[in-house]
Amino acid sequence: MNLFVDNWVNINNIFDDTFEKPSKEDLDNLKVGFSVKISNSKERFWIEIVKIKDYYIVGRIDNNLIFNKKYDNNDLVLIEKNNILDIHDFEFKKIMLKYTNIKGKNRNKSKGKK
């Protein structure tokens, strides 16, 4: 499988208030399995961390991309901590999975009724 690099957005170069910059403590406590949001300047997207080293992080893209032809869902990317725009830890991911499963079950029930 290919490992992609790009001109990822550096959080230190963003000067808007559309999100809260992750704290140094949060970045220092990253773990394999966490999801983090990054950007290639065209779109923001989620990756799931698969490897953490001193100077880089490898993540698997966790959603379909709209504006990219080089890499997409399930491809691996190489980033640095300063490329991380947001973090979802295990607890948040569990809540989201529970919510989407409940929503999916309700949607399937309503489709069956006519």
Residues 9-21 pLDDT 10s: 998 887 777 767 8
DSSP state of 101: H
- CATH code at 52? 2.30.30
69 is a domain residue: yes
Place of tokens 């499963």: 101
47 is a domain residue: yes
pLDDT the model gives residue 88: 82
- The total number of structural domains in the chain stands at 1
68 is a domain residue: yes
pTM of the model: 0.78
pLDDT the model gives residue 94: 65
Per residue in 19-78, pLDDT (tens digit) is 678 999 999 999 999 999 999 999 999 999 999 999 999 999 999 999 988 999 999 999
Domain of residue 13: give its range. 3-89
96 is a domain residue: no
Q: Torsion angle of alpha carbons 103, 88, 60, 41, nearest 10°?
A: 100
